[in-house]
Amino acid sequence: MGLTEYREEIDAIDRQIVELFQQRMRVAGDISRCKQETGAPVLDRDREKEKMRQIGELADEDMAQYCKMLYNKILEMSRDYQRRLLNR
């Protein structure tokens, strides 16, 4: 496979990532409404710690560090989105 084909493959993967990321963020929005109804805080440190452990187990050994870095950012954005929705 050449550079063009690799780039086309990356483009297809990126489309899937964007679709799944948006889906995940919408669910995070739904969670913010549940948290609002129950008075739960946006940040759940125990849940995030468990999520990071799961991500480390799901990832291949050589990608675990990068997956954790990605999920740190995803969790940060999810919290930010939830706070934004709660402050409307």
The domains of the chain are located at 3-86
Q: Would residue 37 be called left, alpha or beta, if left means φ above 0 and alpha means ψ between -120 and 50 degrees?
A: alpha
pTM confidence score: 0.92
Q: Is 82 helix (H, G, I), strand (E, B) or coil?
A: helix
Q: At what angle do helices 64-86 and 3-38 cross, to 10 degrees?
A: 40
Please state which of the four CATH numbers 3.10.20.30, 1.20.59.10, 2.60.40.3880, 3.40.50.300 is assigned to the domain occupying 3-86: 1.20.59.10
How far is it, in rounded angstroms, from Cα 42 to Cα 39?
9
Residues 54, 78: Cα–Cα separation, whole Å:
17
- d(Cα 35, Cα 49) in Å, to the nearest integer? 18
pLDDT in tens, 26-72: 999 999 999 999 999 999 999 999 999 999 999 999 999 999 999 99
